[in-house]
Amino acid sequence: MNTKVEQFPTNNPNPVLSVGKDGTVLYSNEAGEPLLHEWGVEIGGKLPSTFGDLVQRVISLNRPEKTEVKTEKKVYLVTFHPSTEEKHVNIYGFDITDQKKLEERVRIKEKQNDILYKIGKAALEYENLQNFLDESVKLIASILELEYCKILELIPDGNFLLRAGFGWKHGLVGRAIVEGEKESQAGYTLLSRTPVVVEDFEEESRFKKPELLRMHEVNSGVSVAIGSTGKTFGVLGVHSRKKRKFTSDDTYFLSSVAFLIAQVIERKKAEEALKEAYDSLDEKVHERTEELEIAYNSLKESEKSLAEAQEMAHIGNWERDFASNEFHWSDEVYRIFGLKPQEFEVNYGLFLSYLHPDDQDYVNNAVKEALNGKPFDIDFRIILANGEERIAHAKGEAVFDEKNNPVRIRGITQDITEHKKAEEKIQTLANAVESSTDAIITKSLDGVITSWNKGAEQVYGYSAGEVLGKPMSVLEPSTLTGETEKLSEMIKRGEKIHNYETSRLRKDDTIINVSITLSPIFDLSGKLIAISAIARDITERKIAEEKLRESEEKYRNIVETSNEGIYLVDNEAKIIYVNKIMETSGYTLEELIGRPIWDFISEESRPVARRSFEKRRQGVDDSYELKLVRKDGSFIWGLVSAKSLFNKEGRFMGFLGMLTDITERKKAEEALASLETARKKEIHHRIKNNLQVISSLLDLQAEQFRNRENIKDSEVLEALRESQDRVTSMALIHEELYRGGGFETLNFSPYIQELAENLLLTYSLGDTEITLSTDLEEDLFFDIDTAVPLGMIVNELVSNSLKHAFPDRRKGKIRIKLSREENEECMKNITGECKSTSFTLTVSDDGVGIPENLDIEELDSLGFQLVTSLADQLDGEFELKKDNGTEFTMRFTVTEKDKLDQADLRSQEN
């Protein structure tokens, strides 16, 4: 368990992990959980083979590597850094989700612009309108990655014709009619004049789903109007079977496409009208045209050369004649404004309408100043018909007549959008370099420093003026002379150097640790012209790593040299760490780690261990004793002190245990318990012997009275016999306790059986045939406080039957029944069984019975008084029946001592 779990703060927002050389995840902060989930691994588990191989490669090459990992919600740039002290790898993740989203959005915008270009190109290539529309729906569906695209043409009856489509069933395009009332999506789109988005038709309430969409199981879509109010052509729509969310970029793109299609349709209509007009021209016009053709071709050649030059440079010329109020644009100016060259006449108002609203006054004021004799040279923004924003540069001047009145204004306009974007990118890059806290340096191929950012000043202490033009070797410590040149040679050979850790020299002669990445710089022809170096000061990190290593070493030594067994168990009760002392169990560390703790616990202690493990899950910490099994099969006793472990989310991770060997203490306790057992056994034996001596003395005394004729049948003799029976009853209890091995409880049914049989032998005289019938529930364990009074009650009742129930009869039967009552309150024993705690004792005979008018509670007989008193002592309810003999019934409630309870008590004593 040699992991650097304290190396990084757990609240680091970026993922930080540590992985062993075999790919085992040793540590992860909270931010690293998404990576573990993506890799399907937890702490202590192994990385997938792809990343495991990457870990091996990083360790073997001793250099870091990077890769991108996409999780469920984020994208991370993950760097694998080899540890210089130990054979493991530190993994650092950086969230690049927003960057990826921005790149994806830019990519989509570029693709959409490309589609707009292709649609525009198709408009030029296809003379037939239907071919153009068919090509357009294919391009739109492909860029939006949707199953269906359609162009609906509004027909005179107010419905729509599926004029062009992609993805629809064969035979529908050109034939299918879609309802046009406002309850349909198409009709609603024309009424609203805004993009209509449906993310889930099941929840749509503005209009109903048309049959065309139902038959194709469409669930979402967007529709926009084609054409402006008064010139409506129809509706452009895209749809999907999935429930999809559409972005503002999607609707803006569709609106741009719809606008472009509307323009193309209008242009196609104008071309068709113009063609018809041309076809009807008079032959004389044709002849006149031929006469002018030669002159026209000559002029066109000149204009063509100029137009080609202007197109190459994205520069167009323009002129406005105030006398004729004509506004002339060259072809390139048309293209700059997103228009087809010479498509229609332009005017100053149209020109202003294409300008960005915030730039219109600025441009108009510049033109006004030109008319006052001040030429202009300005930049401004224009908004194309498709919504695209471009940047233009214009120069212009006015031409005046002899009276100093402006007669015309002329100038040039150039599209500088790409130039401006390039400038912005260069400026953005320059700002990023200058604001970076990392040192970013450029050096020539001969090692001379040519650029030096603010971060380099902070890292190395030199200002740019102090190092520009000096060799890069000024940053080398004396112990690393020549390293800079060596690294440069590696770059020249095409090798890569990423996050190379080394030492460098600051201006104040202090040595710092840096991580360096070197990259080649090429010119436009691909020739290597310089080398870029990015250096990050990692001195503090190195100091922290060293302190962490020393701290880990200190605590590892404490744990490994401890005389107590220390171990870690995961949430599945498997051992994940043990210290060296645990090898005293006979198992090696490798044999212990990875196995369940139950494998090393004796059968009798496993219930205790499992209950304690459940307590750990609940966050309850305690100490308990376990009987453990060594590898050779011998047993040891251990005192376990356990501490529950939970992660930041409160999820149970396992527990930390400390094991103390208490085998010798347990042996001492067992020896003491054996002495106590022997002592109790001896006490019961002596009590039994003393009671037997008393019984014998009473028997001798009775014999003396029998030899006297005048008192042979006296009450004294009877009293001695009754006393002897009572003493015998108590002696039998102690004999049972001594014989059964238990010293607190008695198995009551065998005791009653023996007591009754002894009484029957004592009172049987001559040839009488008095029999005994018993019905005693088995395995009833009562403590001595219950057994003694209950035994004496049985003694008195059975003795009374033997003495008085059969005065003139030689045959009779005495019955004793002891049973548990049903449907009463119960108590669960340790096996989980629920047993009633109420009992019924019945002693009956078929003798002469007791007279009806005799009240047992008023008798002054010692026996009956004793029975009544003992019944009260047990809180029993006494009932007497006098029909067909005599039946005494007593109901009482006691806590029965279970056999398993007794076994548990004996095990504790042992």
User: Residue 134 in contact with residue 125, Cβ under 8 Å?
Assistant: no
Separation of alpha carbons 373 and 522, rounded Å: 48
Separation of alpha carbons 4 and 119, rounded Å: 59
Separation of alpha carbons 259 and 383, rounded Å: 13
177-186, 238-247, 418-427: range with lowest mean pLDDT: 418-427
The model's pLDDT over 510-521, given as tens digits with 9 standing for 90+, comes to 999 999 999 999
**Scanning the structure block, which residue is given the tokens 């210290």?**
579
Of the two residues 423 and 199, the one the predictor is more confident about is 199
User: Residue 748 in contact with residue 777, Cβ under 8 Å?
Assistant: no
Given CATH 3.30.565.10, say whether it is the number of domain 744-895. yes
What tokens were used for 278? 């041309």
Confidence (pLDDT) at 850? 74
CA 713 to chain centre: 95
Average pLDDT (694-722) is 55
User: Residue 563 in contact with residue 582, Cβ under 8 Å?
Assistant: no
Confidence (pLDDT) at 130? 87
Confidence (pLDDT) at 277? 64
User: Residue 867 in contact with residue 826, Cβ under 8 Å?
Assistant: no
Angle (CA) 683 687 689, round 5°: 115
**Helix (H) / strand (E) containing 212:** helix 211-215
Q: Hey, do 126-269 and 441-539 end up sharing a CATH topology, with the first three levels equal? A: yes
DSSP code string of 341-375:
TTSS---HHHHHHTB-TTTHHHHHHHHHHHHTT--
3-class DSSP state of 404: coil
User: Residue 454 in contact with residue 441, Cβ under 8 Å?
Assistant: no
Average pLDDT, the chain: 80
Confidence (pLDDT) at 462? 93
Separation of alpha carbons 667 and 521, rounded Å: 80
Confidence (pLDDT) at 259? 86
Confidence (pLDDT) at 504? 92
Domain 545-668, CATH number (from 3.40.50.300, 3.30.450.20, 3.50.50.60, 1.10.10.10): 3.30.450.20
> How many helices (H) does the chain have, and how many strands (E)?
24, 35
The model's pLDDT over 806-842, given as tens digits with 9 standing for 90+, comes to 877 668 889 999 988 875 555 444 444 556 788 999 9
Residue 501, C-beta contacts closer than 8 angstroms, at least 6 positions apart: 84, 513, 514, 515, 516, 538
Residue 759, C-beta contacts closer than 8 angstroms, at least 6 positions apart: 725, 795, 798, 799, 802
Angle (CA) 611 616 618, round 5°: 100
Residue 582: name the closest of 604, 598, 566 by CA. Answer: 566
Separation of alpha carbons 489 and 445, rounded Å: 9
Q: Is residue 683 packed enough to be buried (19+ CB in 10 Å), middle (13-18) or exposed (0-12)?
A: middle
147: left (phi over 0), alpha (psi -120 to 50) or beta: alpha
Separation of alpha carbons 202 and 209, rounded Å: 9
Q: Is the pLDDT of residue 611 over 70?
A: yes
Separation of alpha carbons 827 and 849, rounded Å: 38
User: Residue 432 in contact with residue 438, Cβ under 8 Å?
Assistant: no
The model's pLDDT over 645-678, given as tens digits with 9 standing for 90+, comes to 998 889 999 988 888 888 888 777 776 766 555 5
Q: Is the pLDDT of residue 697 over 80?
A: no
User: Residue 153 in contact with residue 161, Cβ under 8 Å?
Assistant: yes
What is the CATH class of 313-422? Answer: alpha beta
State the Cα torsion 424-430-431-434 to the nearest 10°.
180
Residue 228: name the closest of 200, 266, 199, 254 by CA. Answer: 266
CA distances from 798 to 726, 777, 819, 840, 874 (A): 12, 18, 18, 16, 19
Is the Cα dihedral 739, 742, 745, 747 positive or negative? negative
Each as own residue / partner, the long-range contacts of residues 539-545 (CB below 8 Å, 24 or more positions apart, any chain) are 539/512, 539/513, 541/513, 542/513, 544/7, 545/4, 545/7, 545/85
Average pLDDT (269-284) is 67
Separation of alpha carbons 306 and 327, rounded Å: 18
3-class DSSP state of 197: strand
298-307, 432-441, 596-605, 854-863: range with lowest mean pLDDT: 298-307
Angle (CA) 276 279 285, round 5°: 130
pTM (2 decimals)? 0.33
Q: Is the pLDDT of residue 148 over 70?
A: yes
In the chain, % helix, strand, coil (3-state, to 5) comes to 45, 25, 30
| Main-chain phi, psi angles of 87, to 5 degrees | -80, 70
CATH hierarchy code of domain 126-269: 3.30.450.40
Mode of pairing for the β-strands spanning 177-178 and 196-198: unpaired
3-state secondary structure 482-509: CHHHHHHHHHHCCCCEEEEEEEEECCCC
Strands (E), 572-611: 575-578
10 Å Cβ neighbour count for 864?
Answer: 16
Mode of pairing for the β-strands spanning 75-82 and 511-522: unpaired
10 Å Cβ neighbour count for 527?
Answer: 8
Of the two residues 428 and 97, the one the predictor is more confident about is 97
User: Residue 266 in contact with residue 248, Cβ under 8 Å?
Assistant: no
Separation of alpha carbons 112 and 238, rounded Å: 15
Average pLDDT (211-216) is 88
370-374, 528-532, 867-871, 887-891: range with lowest mean pLDDT: 867-871
Average pLDDT (778-785) is 82
Separation of alpha carbons 238 and 216, rounded Å: 13
10 Å Cβ neighbour count for 899?
Answer: 16
CA distances from 653 to 43, 160, 213, 575, 646 (A): 10, 65, 53, 12, 5
Residue 10: name the closest of 629, 648, 574, 451 by CA. Answer: 648
429 falls in which pLDDT band (50, 70, 90)? confident
Task: Indicate the length of the chain as a whole number.
Answer: 910
What is the CATH class of 441-539? Answer: alpha beta
Domain 16-99, CATH number (from 2.30.110.10, 3.30.450.20, 3.40.50.1100, 3.40.50.720): 3.30.450.20
Q: Is the pLDDT of residue 241 over 70?
A: yes
DSSP code string of 96-140:
-HHHHHHHHHHHHHHHHHHHHHHHHHHHHH--SHHHHHHHHHHHH
701 falls in which pLDDT band (50, 70, 90)? low
Confidence (pLDDT) at 500? 92
Q: Is the pLDDT of residue 903 over 50?
A: no
Residue 246: name the closest of 194, 277, 200 by CA. Answer: 200
Q: How many CA atoms lie within 13 A of 418 on its CB side?
A: 5
CA distances from 790 to 220, 782, 865 (A): 87, 10, 14
Residue 197, C-beta contacts closer than 8 angstroms, at least 6 positions apart: 221, 222, 246, 251
Separation of alpha carbons 5 and 533, rounded Å: 33
Separation of alpha carbons 120 and 126, rounded Å: 10
What tokens were used for 524? 């436009």
Confidence (pLDDT) at 252? 84
Spans of all domains in the chain:
16-99, 126-269, 313-422, 441-539, 545-668, 744-895
Confidence (pLDDT) at 897? 53
Of the two residues 758 and 609, the one the predictor is more confident about is 609
10 Å Cβ neighbour count for 224?
Answer: 25
Confidence (pLDDT) at 835? 67
DSSP code string of 249-288:
HHHHHHHHHHHHHHHHHHHHHHHHHHHHHHHTS-HHHHHH
Percent share of the chain, pLDDT over 70: 79
Confidence (pLDDT) at 303? 54
